[in-house]
Amino acid sequence: MNISLPKPVKTSISKPFWDSIAKERFSLQFCDDCSRAIFYPRAHCPHCFSDQLTWKEASGQGRLKTWSIIYRTGHPAWQEKTPYVVGVVELEEGPSMLTHLLIEPSEITYQMDVSVCFTTIEGEVLPFFKAKGEERP
């Protein structure tokens, strides 16, 4: 069975994020009124409801809040990649992001420092996270 992996949905609002990722740069929206970072991309700040948002390069650093090892997927194309690890990373700038983790399950610890790494799957560059200071797996 040859099934393609699902691709990210790129909208007019999220396009700058994905354009940045394609260049292996990690960018977030920042509110011009309250100065807070925002993720996922949206049209209004979830903190103060301002529509004055600017894209800026972000650190790509964070701490792991929680994780799960996936053995049975929701999409059949991912099944051959199991087991894999997904987690929620609290980014250094404040927001949290659900992402794939390129970390061995036995090495994962709560609040471990992680950093973004860019992984190409079926021609699509995606932001995954690895243990900070580790070489890309």
Q: Virtual CA dihedral for 71, 74, 78, 80, nearest 10 degrees?
A: 50
Task: Give residue 78's pLDDT.
Answer: 87
Task: Give residue 58's pLDDT.
Answer: 98
Nearest to 43 by CA among 23, 62, 66, 15: 15
Residue carrying the six token digits 């471990």: 112
pLDDT in tens, 69-124: 999 998 888 888 899 999 999 999 999 999 999 999 999 999 999 999 999 988 99
Tell me the two tokens of residue 1.
């069975």
